[in-house]
Each structure stands twice: as C-alpha cells, then as structure tokens.
Chain A
C-alpha cells in the first residue's frame, strides 16, 4: 500500500468513524451551546459595565483571552475520544489491519481531529454571533473595531481550538487516558504554566520565553490588537502561534514515536 493510498484510506476511515459515532453530534451541540452561552453572558455583562473595544471579540470567542475556552476543552475532548476509543475498543488494531501504515493513520487522525475541531470552533462562533446580533440593544458591535482588525484574532481562535483538539489526541495517545489528557489541557494554563513562569529568571529573555509558553501564546493569538497596532503586532501573534504549533507538533511527534515502537 503506497503512502498516499494509505493516507487517503485512513482519512476516509477516520471521517466515517467520526460521522457514525453519537458523541460527535453531542460535541457539536455542546460547542454551539457554549458559544451561545458565552456570548449571552458577555452581552448581559456589557449592559451593566463598559467592557471595552474587545467586548465583541470576547463575546464571540467565549472569553478565551485566558488561553482556555470551553470550546477548546470540547475540542480537546473530541481529540481525546478519538485516541481513547481506539485504545479502549480495539479500534486501533482494526484500523491498522485496514491501513497497515502507522504513520498514515496518525497523520489522518490528526488531520481529521484538526478539521473536526475547526468545525466545532466555527459552530460556536456562528452561535455566538447569532446571540450577539439578536441581543436587544447590545452595544458590543458599535464599540468593536472593524472586521479587518478582528479577522486575525478570530482566525487565531479557530487555530487555538484546532490545536486544543490535536493536543487532546496526542496527549491521550501518550498518557493512554482521555481523562488525564483533558485534565492536563485544562490544568496547564490555570496551574502549570503560572508555576513554570514563576521559576523563569526575571530577565529580558525570561520575559520573552514566558510569552512563548503555550497558554501565553494562546491568549496572544485571540487578543484584540491595541489601537494603531500595526505589522509588529501581527508578527508577534504569528510568532506566538508558531510557538504553540511547535509545542503541539512535539506532542504529536512523541505520540508517533511511541506508537511506532510498540505492538498494537
């Protein structure tokens, strides 16, 4: 079986697997509901207080400026379920019998989880936008910068959810536990990264390094640019995105190495 044929077969297999399992529809509904709920909460908050020019962005991305969002967690769970389902129900062996190339299978699984996570992000965005548009007398749109300025953080949000999904997949393959993987995704920005940041030396390089840690890079990806921010801001966001991508790619690579060394 040629590598290309194997990849094509593996992608078909994973797409139909995703489409024929119940939890996919549940996660899609959860993502849309989370997007709508986040938007509703921000709209309600905006009625009582001025939440600034980034209010609209916060509303449609579910307040993911901390580097963590409910939809990101849902995507991590989606990725974890793909890997955990393989391990728990023997699906990995079935897949390897159909497509006897481990690299092609992992690549296909990563691609499909990435696509599925993007779909979850878009579903949550659409639900959130619908709530904002329909919210009576909301001022978020009026206070927000224009669509051109918002394009980069919105793309960053979709990319962030995609990376959450892929991280969930890779961590589950490494830790052999969906619960541990999702817990780690949640605990990283809330506990582990602040701890790590506190031990970095208080120097210029330490500050640069701290800004490239996964949660900090994630919050930069979805942050609204300051007024009059130009190309340097976009470059900084791209560097943050690259750092996050590198971290998740390292996880996938580790999972690939571990998978290649052991019996299925």
Chain B
C-alpha cells in the first residue's frame, strides 16, 4: 500500500506541491493525472527521496529510505532514457542488480520478461522509446517488488509496448501489488486505471475511481448549422443546453441527436454536421484549470460528481 501524507514542495517561492495526500491500496492501479507542471513527477521524486520537501510517502507503513532493501519493495521508473551510452543493456541491468543485491541470473529473467532479450548486447543510446522503457521496467522488476512507481510511462509509446506495459501493470495489481503511474492525458490510463488522482497546480483537485470520474462526464451532440444563433435559441426552448465552440459549432446536451435534427428542421435551419460527442476526460482535466470552487461536484460541466473533490 502507498500512502502519501501531506506532501508539499516549493521551487523557490513557487509551490510545486501543496499538501497532497492520497492512498493507493494493495491490488489497485492508480494514475496521477494532470497537465504539465501539475506536480505529478514531484510526487514520485519525493516518494523515493530524490527531492527535498515536507510530508511523507509510506510503502506498507515505511518511508522509502527506511526500507531494508528498497529495490525488493518498490520498483521505480523515472526516466527510461537515464542510460549510459557506453554500457550495454545487459551491463546496465547487471549494475542495477548489483546495487539491489539481486543475483545476476535475474537479469536474464527480466530481460526476457520485458521482451528485450535480443537487445541485451546493444548499447541503448539509440533505443526507441518503447525499448528504453521496457529496459527501465526490467530494471524496476529486478527485486520482485510489490509496489511499482512509473513516471509518465505512456507518452510517445508505440502500440505494442503500450499494450505490453498496460497488461503487465494490470497483472501486477491483480496479483495484489500497488501500482502508481503518472500521465498527462487521462485518456491514456482510463482503460487500465482503477483510481485517478487529479492534480492541478500542485494541489489535489479530485480523486476517486476512474469509472466514477468518467460517468460524471456529460456526452453531447455536436452540430454545425447555417444559422447557429437561431438553432441555439430553439434548442434552449426545447429544454436542451448549448455550449458554442470557437469555430461556430454547437455542443448540445440534454437532447439526443434525433431531437437536435428535428429542432433544426422545425426552425428551417440547414444542418451541415450532426455527430455524437463522447465524454472527454482530458477536456474535463483542462477545465480543472478553472478556479478551485469550480472543482466542486456539479459546479461545471467538467466537474466530476463521482469523485471526492478537495476544497482549497
């Protein structure tokens, strides 16, 4: 289990993290989500003692620095590109195994598990992002840790490596381990994360089961018409809500696609486009850039009713 307790960190006068607390129980895959600069990586760096800050992160009740053998309890992937260009992939893992107190034979096991056995004699400076990440994950798995921490593992990842990684993380969590990953795009983790922890400007904005967060988002109908103003007025009269877009399109909620078409026909407005607009959690995350009060459930279309919002 991972417990983050009142994490705070300042970069000069600017707060990078402000009193962030959350828990990732055993058997749960959680994702720290938020736009760039929200403080996601800082949480992980504080967790393993790389950054100085206040608060604590406990792994099964112990801070990272007090774990007797950290690599056997927590597997960490912070920067997959942190590789010396003069060392082979296997040499890199050998050095990690030596530091972790893991037998050398385990290196070949994790190379196979990560699907990079063929590249073990290669120097990894020219590895693609997928191969570099697989090597980094192999290093994290050396000590058979119960907990995994991965910083932004899904960005720029090829489809094969993404599928492999998400499957590995899912299996790890289902086996009773705790997994905490960070992601800038919620869409990247929705399919696999059990819980989301949403950060905004270093503060905890919302947290809760991913399914609740998605259920709280409204789907809508996108319509482009010859007279958007006339159509918007008619939709409001028919009981729908309208949100105009910058390009002149309208996003309609409260009416289904057929009803919007009927309204347009009744008003004599030509329809140029009529399509279903699915719930977009990333758009909702962007809306979290609104003032803190907007985060309260029901306060705006991007709010997340199923989640526990954290007031300022």
Q: Are A93 and B86 in contact (CB under 8 A)?
A: no
Tell me whether A12 is interfacial, beta carbon within 8 Å: yes
Q: Are B82 and A263 in contact (CB under 8 A)?
A: no
Query: Which residues of the other chain, A, contact B91 by a CB distance below 8 angstroms?
Result: 16, 20-21
Tell me whether B71 is interfacial, beta carbon within 8 Å: yes
Among candidates A9, A10, A96, residue contacting B50 with C-beta atoms closer than 8 Å? A96
Among candidates A5, A12, A90, residue contacting B79 with C-beta atoms closer than 8 Å? A90
Q: Are B64 and A13 in contact (CB under 8 A)?
A: no
**Interface residues in A1-60 (C-beta closer than 8 Å to B):** 1-2, 5, 9-10, 12-13, 15-17, 20-23
Tell me whether A253 is interfacial, beta carbon within 8 Å: no
**Interface residues in B74-129 (C-beta closer than 8 Å to A):** 76, 78-79, 81-88, 91-92, 94-101
> Do most interface residues of chain A lie in helix, strand or loop, or is the interface mixed?
helix
Tell me whether B61 is interfacial, beta carbon within 8 Å: no
Query: Which residues of the other chain, A, contact B139 by a CB distance below 8 angstroms?
Result: 94
Residue of B nearest to A96 (CB): B50
Residues of B within 8 A of A (CB-CB), count:
36
**Interface residues in A91-126 (C-beta closer than 8 Å to B):** 91, 93-101
Chain A: minimal CB distance from B136 (Å):
9
Cα of A96 to Cα of B50 in the assembled complex, Å:
7
Tell me whether B276 is interfacial, beta carbon within 8 Å: no
Query: Which residues of the other chain, B, contact A15 by a CB distance below 8 angstroms?
Result: 98
Tell me whether A226 is interfacial, beta carbon within 8 Å: no
Known A20-B87, A93-B79, A263-B50; judge A1-B95 contact (CB<8 A): no
Tell me whether B67 is interfacial, beta carbon within 8 Å: yes
Query: Which residues of the other chain, B, contact A22 by a CB distance below 8 angstroms?
Result: 86-87
Q: Are A98 and B100 in contact (CB under 8 A)?
A: yes
Query: Which residues of the other chain, B, contact A263 by a CB distance below 8 angstroms?
Result: 45, 50-52
Cα of A235 to Cα of B71 in the assembled complex, Å:
48
Cα of A49 to Cα of B50 in the assembled complex, Å:
60
Tell me whether A194 is interfacial, beta carbon within 8 Å: no
Tell me whether A201 is interfacial, beta carbon within 8 Å: no
Q: Are A16 and B95 in contact (CB under 8 A)?
A: yes
Among candidates A1, A90, A99, residue contacting B66 with C-beta atoms closer than 8 Å? A1
Cα of A203 to Cα of B119 in the assembled complex, Å:
66
Cα of A100 to Cα of B65 in the assembled complex, Å:
6
Q: B244-266 vs A: 1/0 string, CB under 8 Å? A: 00000000000000000000000
Interface residues in chain B, defined as those with a beta carbon under 8 Å from any beta carbon in chain A: 45, 48-52, 64-71, 76, 78-79, 81-88, 91-92, 94-101, 139
Q: Sorted from nearest, which 9 A-B pairs have the closest CB atoms?
A: A90-B82, A13-B99, A20-B91, A98-B99, A16-B98, A12-B98, A22-B86, A264-B50, A16-B95
Q: A1-B69, A16-B95, A264-B45 are in contact. List 19 more A-B contacts (CB 8 A).
A: A2-B68, A5-B69, A13-B96, A13-B98, A16-B91, A16-B99, A20-B87, A21-B84, A21-B91, A22-B86, A90-B78, A93-B79, A95-B99, A97-B70, A97-B76, A100-B48, A100-B65, A263-B45, A263-B50
- Can you spell out 25 A-B residue pairs with CB atoms less than 8 angstroms apart? A1-B67, A1-B68, A5-B69, A12-B99, A15-B98, A17-B84, A17-B87, A20-B88, A20-B92, A21-B87, A21-B91, A90-B78, A90-B79, A91-B82, A93-B82, A96-B50, A97-B48, A97-B50, A97-B70, A97-B76, A98-B70, A98-B100, A101-B65, A263-B45, A263-B52
